């Protein structure tokens, strides 16, 4: 520990020599470097495991190994998480959002590696989830822990956390602009122009690492066909379709998560989940792993590879069955993803979202071409469908547009990307206000937003603001006893406490001012006749947003605070909240 302290002090001294303004830039380079390396390592490790397990399969025949592989990978993950990590590391992006909202942007140090290890076994062995959420959590944890190591404040740690997330997305996709927009749009960081520079530095650094280690080829660079304005009506149709598929994806995922979580026994949950997942993948091998190889086949015109290692391989030439098979992939991918995570695997919804978007776009294009009404390029529709699903599920149209533009190596499809992303976003917003990442947090009241007022309120806690220096009185106290209480108090409010410590009312100094010097009333006047009812009470664990609503509804300036059993604890005042709020705004957002 002493060595770490000395190292920290030495590093801080060196950084200070460079100037306070340069510190974020230096640390952003380091965060981007580490995030890029982590992204490349995870991508390489997953492919290494997957190719070793399935590379020797017969293309034309289904394999019974699909029944066992996912379960084995999930079992290894469960053992690793339960006995080594001893923490829940699922739902990576939601965890990052929660850390910003409720944990001062601090993420546990094991997240710098635990999601990589767990994700490698889960996805490499065929778990039907994506690697993007684990790597975003990893990158964010790297940034957060570097900030904590140097004892930075909340705002600086949050900035480095964002740098890690941007670097992770940039590194895994080789898409630096998408990494920056992802951080601003999905993590909802409210940053100044000067704060964006470190994000750019980190994102470009991570992308450079990725280029250096795995080459400069983009994911789908040779897939584009010429864009034609005549296709716009069909892109509009695709946007609507992606919006509804996104709605299904979001609601089905959250519903299945709740149902699977009802199974409390870890072993039973793993057994049932793994068997169910294995059966699904056996019948639909396209559900194995991330599915990006399937998307590559579609983009390059080799769509028949969707049927590789499937027991339905011989039916691929039947147009009706091909369409039915694509529909089944869309329906069952959500179930496969939920079973993977629910039974103990570690992975995210980012990858499945892109995968289903590609399948949805390809399905719409194939149906249009089969109908004979018009002919559209299937690869283009698959690519644009990825943006449509991403825009709908994540409710992040800008990230979707620029990510797909970057992974195709150009902006040839910029117009259809915009059309489909916007329409998909508008469609799902008609039914869902929150993205799949933010809905869980919104339901629990933990969601940080771009609204500075609401963001600051999330950090204010009743227990930190409650004032306890009020002299308590009791209903049967006489006026004489009340006068003694007044002499001991610096307040003009006196809580009247009844049985079990519950507050029954309040007496204000003004209520007794006209009689407090009439000594003949000292023994005959009791406080239960003078007290007034309280307009409302505040629970010690209540959210500050609810507290503000109660103040506005009652018009009160002070309200009593009680614990879970209703016992009186003290008072909360508007002035105390406003003062704390102003100070917190300065701390969180500076003077911008």
- CATH code for the part of the protein at 229-447: 1.10.3080.10
Q: What is the pLDDT of residue 272?
A: 92
Neighbours of 289 (CB within 10 A): 33
Q: What are phi and psi of 307, to 5 degrees?
A: -90, 0
Rounded to an integer, the average pLDDT of 489-501 is 86
Rounded to an integer, the average pLDDT of 480-501 is 86
In the structure encoding, which two tokens stand for residue 291, read together?
A: 């599915």
CA distances from 574 to 106, 452, 550 (A): 29, 19, 11
pLDDT surpassing 60 at residue 452:
no
Buried b (16+ CB within 10 A) or exposed e, 533-552: ebeebbebebbbeebbebbe
Per-residue pLDDT of 270-308, as tens digits, reads: 999 999 999 999 899 889 988 888 888 888 888 777 877
Element (H, E) at 405: helix 397-407
Quick one: residue 501, left, alpha or beta (phi over 0 = left, psi -120 to 50 = alpha)?
left
Rounded to an integer, the average pLDDT of 222-243 is 86
Rounded to an integer, the average pLDDT of 526-533 is 85
Higher-pLDDT residue of 587 and 351 is 351
Closest CA to 163 of 149, 151, 174, 145: 145
Q: What is the pLDDT of residue 221?
A: 58
Rounded to an integer, the average pLDDT of 420-444 is 86
Q: What is the pLDDT of residue 458?
A: 62
Residues 6+ apart with CB under 8 A from 306: 286, 294, 297, 298, 316, 325, 326, 329
CB 134 within 8 A of CB 347: yes
| Cα torsion angle, 27, 31, 34, 37, sign | negative
Residues 6+ apart with CB under 8 A from 314: none
In the structure encoding, which two tokens stand for residue 556, read together?
A: 């009160």
Q: What is the pLDDT of residue 167?
A: 95
Neighbours of 408 (CB within 10 A): 24
CB 190 within 8 A of CB 18: no
pLDDT surpassing 50 at residue 103:
yes
pLDDT cut 90: percent of the chain above it: 41
pLDDT band with cut points at 50, 70 and 90 for residue 176: very high
Torsion of CA 15, 177, 250, 81, to 10 degrees: -40
CA distances from 324 to 253, 316, 321, 329, 381 (A): 22, 11, 5, 9, 18
Strands 538-539 and 558-562: parallel
DSSP code at position 85: I
Closest CA to 427 of 214, 257, 242: 242
pLDDT band with cut points at 50, 70 and 90 for residue 577: confident
Rounded to an integer, the average pLDDT of 322-351 is 92
Q: What is the pLDDT of residue 99?
A: 85
Rounded CA-CA distance 403/133 in Å is 15
- Domain 2-214 is classified in which CATH homologous superfamily? Clc chloride channel (1.10.3080.10)
pLDDT surpassing 80 at residue 391:
yes
DSSP character string of 245-311: HHHHHHHHHHHHHHHHHT---HHHHHHHHHHHHHHHHHH-GGGSSS-HHHHHHHHTT-GGGGGTT-T
Q: CA angle at residue 132 from 129 to 134, to 5 degrees?
A: 85
pLDDT band with cut points at 50, 70 and 90 for residue 120: very high
pLDDT surpassing 70 at residue 9:
no
pLDDT surpassing 70 at residue 4:
no
pLDDT surpassing 90 at residue 460:
no
- Report the SS3 class of residue 473: strand
Q: What is the pLDDT of residue 207?
A: 94
Which residue matches tokens 């009160």? 556
- Report the SS3 class of residue 221: coil
Q: What is the pLDDT of residue 592?
A: 46
DSSP character string of 181-201: HHHHHTS-----HHHHHHHHH
pLDDT surpassing 70 at residue 61:
no
Domain 455-589 = CATH 3.10.580.10: yes
Q: CA angle at residue 387 from 292 to 318, to 5 degrees?
A: 55
Which residue matches tokens 């670097």? 167
pLDDT surpassing 80 at residue 588:
no
Longest CA–CA span in the chain (Å) reads 105
Helices 574-589 and 452-459, packing angle to 10 deg: 110
Would you list the domain boundaries of the chain?
A: 2-214, 229-447, 455-589
pLDDT surpassing 60 at residue 495:
yes
Per-residue pLDDT of 396-410, as tens digits, reads: 999 999 999 888 766
pLDDT surpassing 50 at residue 383:
yes
Per-residue pLDDT of 183-198, as tens digits, reads: 988 886 656 666 789 9
Q: What is the pLDDT of residue 318?
A: 82
CB 384 within 8 A of CB 404: yes
Per-residue pLDDT of 353-367, as tens digits, reads: 999 999 999 999 999
CA distances from 164 to 33, 147, 182, 397 (A): 9, 11, 11, 21
Q: What is the pLDDT of residue 484?
A: 86
CB 229 within 8 A of CB 412: no
Helix then strand then coil, in percent of the chain rounded to 5, is: 65, 5, 30
Fold agreement (229-447, 455-589): no
Please count the residues of the chain: 592
Q: Give the chain's mean pLDDT.
A: 85
């Amino acid at each position: 520990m002493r060595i770490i302290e000395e190292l920290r002090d030495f590093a801080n001294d060196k950084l200070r020599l460079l100037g306070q303004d340069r510190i974020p830039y230096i640390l952003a380079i380091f965060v981007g470097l580490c995030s890029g390396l982590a992204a490349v390592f995870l991508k390489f490790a997953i492919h290494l495991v997957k190719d070793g397990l399935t590379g020797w399969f017969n293309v034309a025949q289904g394999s019974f190994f699909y029944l066992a592989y996912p379960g084995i990978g999930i079992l290894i993950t469960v053992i690793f998480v339960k006995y080594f990590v001893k923490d829940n590391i699922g739902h990576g992006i939601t965890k990052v959002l929660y850390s910003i909202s409720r944990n001062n942007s601090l993420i546990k140090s094991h997240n710098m590696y635990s999601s990589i290890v767990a994700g490698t076994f889960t996805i490499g062995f065929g778990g039907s989830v994506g690697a993007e959420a684990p790597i975003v959590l990893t990158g964010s944890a790297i940034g957060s822990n570097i900030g904590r190591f140097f004892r930075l404040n909340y705002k600086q740690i949050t900035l480095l956390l964002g740098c890690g997330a941007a670097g992770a997305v940039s590194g895994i996709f080789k898409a630096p602009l998408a990494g920056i927009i992802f951080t601003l749009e999905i993590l909802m960081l409210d940053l100044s122009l000067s704060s964006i520079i470190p994000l750019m530095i980190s994102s470009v650094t991570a992308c450079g690492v990725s280029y250096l280690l795995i080459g400069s080829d983009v994911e789908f660079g040779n897939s584009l066909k010429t864009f034609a304005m005549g296709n716009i009506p069909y892109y509009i149709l695709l946007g609507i379709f992606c919006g509804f598929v996104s709605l299904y994806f979001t609601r089905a995922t959250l519903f299945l998560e709740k149902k699977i979580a009802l199974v409390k026994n870890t072993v039973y949950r793993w057994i049932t989940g793994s068997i169910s997942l294995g059966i699904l993948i056996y019948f639909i091998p396209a559900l194995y792993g991330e599915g990006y190889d399937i998307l590559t086949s579609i983009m390059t015109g080799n769509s028949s590879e969707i049927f590789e290692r499937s027991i339905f391989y011989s039916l691929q030439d039947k147009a009706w069955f091909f369409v039915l098979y694509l529909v089944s992939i869309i329906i069952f991918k959500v179930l496969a993803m939920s079973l993977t995570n629910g039974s103990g695997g570690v992975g995210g919804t980012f990858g499945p979202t892109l995968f289903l978007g590609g399948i949805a776009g390809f399905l719409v294009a194939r149906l249009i071409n089969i109908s004979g009404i018009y002919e559209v390029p299937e690869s283009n529709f698959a690519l644009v469908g990825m943006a449509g699903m991403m825009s709908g599920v994540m409710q992040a149209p800008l990230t979707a547009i620029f990510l797909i533009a970057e992974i195709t190596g150009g902006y040839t499809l910029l117009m259809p990307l915009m059309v489909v992303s916007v329409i998909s976003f508008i469609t799902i917003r008609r039914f869902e206000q929150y993205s799949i990442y933010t809905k869980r947090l919104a339901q629990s009241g933990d969601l940080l937003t771009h609204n500075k007022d609401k963001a600051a309120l999330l950090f204010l806690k009743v227990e930190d603001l409650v004032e306890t220096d009020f002299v308590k009185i009791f209903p049967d106290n006489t006026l004489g006893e009340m006068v003694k209480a007044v002499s001991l108090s610096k307040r003009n409010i006196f809580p009247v406490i009844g049985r079990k410590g519950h507050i029954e009312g309040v007496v204000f100094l003004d209520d007794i001012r006209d009689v407090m010097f009439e000594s003949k009333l000292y023994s005959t006047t009791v406080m239960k006749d003078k007290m007034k009812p309280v307009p409302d009470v505040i629970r010690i664990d209540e959210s500050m947003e609810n507290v503000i609503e109660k103040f506005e509804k009652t018009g009160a300036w002070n309200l009593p605070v009680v614990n879970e059993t209703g016992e009186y604890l003290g008072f909360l005042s508007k002035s105390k909240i406003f003062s704390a709020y102003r100070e917190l705004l300065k701390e969180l957002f500076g003077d911008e």
